[in-house]
Each structure stands twice: as structure tokens, then as C-alpha cells.
Amino acid sequence: MKWTFARQAASPSQSAAPAVTVPLAVPPGKTRAAEAYLTWAGLKVITNPDGTIEARGDLDIGAKNFEELLDLSFVTLIGNFNCSTNKLTSLEGAPCVVTGDFRCANNLLTSLTGAPRRVGGSFDCSNNQITSLEGGPAEVGQQYRCATNKLTTLKGAPATVNWGFECEENWLTTLAHAPRHVGRSFNCSDNLLTSLEYGPETVGSNYICKGNKLVNLAHAPRIVPYMFNCAENGLETLAGGPEEVKIFACKRNRLASLAGAPRRFEELVSDFGTFRSWEHIPAAHRQLDDAGVRDAVTLHGTIAVRRALALKRNAHP
């Protein structure tokens, strides 16, 4: 669907405006088209002498069957922008800055080229066919959601996300280029990860890595304030995981014991049962209590852990 809208006639005062001597950054035709559309859409528009525009208000063009965006690449939008649930194959033409939320989910996008440079609120590009985050916003003030795409890399992701970062249901085999610090939850579930290396060093709430192919939990944050969920990975050891967490979920793995699980938790949910403290776990399920196992998996991988387990069993029948 192409862009159509009713243009408003210029007032006499507008037509009589004196010529501007500031060099134009935007061709006059593009400025006039953007002015007309944004005004028609109910936004308050301020046009700068160089042709760039500041528009105040929310612009919602979701579910309109649009195949392309009107060129607003020179517009700073003081508000929210929603172009979700269309037929867009490109974000070319999106506002250069959006101070609120920017939502482009449920389209046919394969890249983020053309996305705003900065998003003050949340950025949601989920449910597309995106293979890379390059070209996306370098700064996102709140949530960054890129779930359910075809990502094989997180290159292009912001270094820090103040709220959550959600990259679940992609084709990721590595967390290289993931944000180093996530203010709330980090969710990388349902990918093809075998390691948590390069993942966030700190999270403010949850760390969800279920449904991958992890062989150990090395490189997980030391402290996870709320939930750490590593279910459905085929794990044979919990070594390398967080040391302190509120809820630790490790169901549907291939664990022979809970050795390596965090000592400090309020709830541990496992195939052996649900426990409220380490002391409540039967000794048969605890088996090893050895910081050396955690160190071994970090340095040498699962084989070293298995050897350590065997040595401990021999020493303590």
C-alpha cells in the first residue's frame, strides 16, 4: 500500500514567509510532504530552517498493509512510533530519533538499516526475518526486543540496555556482541547456544537461557537477582552457574545430581524436586560441594567436571 493523505493548504502567512538563508539539509519537497502528513496525523510540527522537523505526538501506522515508509528520516519524533504488522521490507524512511517507543514487529524485515539512531523508550523488531542487528539503534533507553527472527549474531546490539534484552527464538550459536550490562532481564532461550560465553556480566532481574544446547553454565553472572532458568538444555552438570539467585530452575536436563547448583537461593526447581534451601536437598542429590568443580568447568569444560565427579565419588563412597 502506498502513502496517501489529504494535504492541508498553506495559510497566507505561510506562503508569505521570507526566504531562509540557512543551507537546506532536506530537499523542500520532502519537507513539505512530511509536514503535510504529520500535521494531518495530528502531530504538532516545528520545521527548522534547514528543513529538518521536530514533531510532537505519537504516530501509529500499525496494521495498514504498508509496504514502505514515507520518508521521515529527517524527523525527530517526540513521542512513540509504531509501524508493526505491515508488509515492510525496510525501515528506510523511519524517523532519525524517537524519544519514546519504536515498534516495527511483525513485518518482513531482513535488516535494521534505516532504523532510528536513538530510541528513548523501547525498541521492538521481533517477528521478522532479520539476520543482523547492524544498522539498528546504538542507544535504547528501555527494552530491546529482537526475538523470533533469523539472527545468527548479535553484532550491532547496544553495549548497555537499561531494561530487558530479549533475543529468544533465533539461530544464535554464540552470545558474542551481546550487551555487557542489562538493567532488567536477559532472555536468550530457544537458540542453538552451547556456551554462555560473551553473555552479559550483570543483569538486574532474570537470566533465561532454557531450550539451548548448553554443555555447562560457565560464564553465567555470579549473581542473578531474581530467576535463572537453564531448563531443557541437556545439561549434565550445573558447574559454572550463578552463586546467588532467588529462583533457580534446571528441570528437563540430564543431571545426575544438583552438584554445582547455587548455594544461596530461595527456591530451586529441578527434576529431583523443589527445594527452599541447599540444606533441604537430600545428600544423595547434592553429592559434590566443590568450588573446584566450578573452576574446572570454566577452565577445562565438561570432561574435567566428569573427572572431578569420578574422583569425588571414589573418595567418598
Of 65, 302, 207, 275, residue with least CA distance to 261: 275
CATH 3.80.10 applies to domain 12-315: yes
pTM: 0.83
Q: Which three cell numbers stand for residue 66?
A: 504498508
Give tens-digit pLDDT for 100-128: 999 999 999 999 999 999 999 999 999 99
What does the DSSP 8-state code read for residue 223?
Answer: E
Distances (CA, A) of 258 to 173, 208, 292, 304: 26, 19, 15, 17
In the numeric block, the cell 539503534 is attached to 137
Please answer whether residues 225 and 244 qualify as being in contact, where contact means their C-beta atoms are separated by less than 8 angstroms. Answer: no
Q: What is the spatial distance between Cα 97 and Cα 70, in angstroms, rounded to a whole number? A: 15
What does the DSSP 8-state code read for residue 182?
Answer: E
pLDDT at 15: 40
pLDDT (tens place) for every residue of the chain, 317 residues total? 545 443 333 333 444 444 434 456 778 889 999 999 999 999 999 999 999 999 999 999 999 999 999 999 999 999 999 999 999 999 999 999 999 999 999 999 999 999 999 999 999 999 999 999 999 999 999 999 999 999 999 999 999 899 999 999 999 999 999 999 999 999 999 999 999 999 999 999 999 999 999 999 999 999 999 999 999 999 999 999 999 999 999 999 999 999 999 999 999 999 999 999 999 999 999 875 444 444 444 433 444 444 444 444 443 33
pLDDT at 20: 38
Length of the chain: 317
Question: Any long-range contacts for 236-241 (C-beta under 8 Å, 24+ apart)?
Answer: 236/302, 236/306, 237/293, 237/297, 237/302, 237/305, 237/306, 237/309, 239/293, 239/294, 239/296, 239/297, 239/298, 239/305, 240/216, 240/294, 240/297, 240/298, 241/217, 241/294
pLDDT at 35: 95
Give tens-digit pLDDT for 79-94: 999 999 999 999 999 9
pLDDT at 24: 63
Q: What share of the chain is helix, strand, coil (3-state, %, to 5)?
A: 15, 20, 65
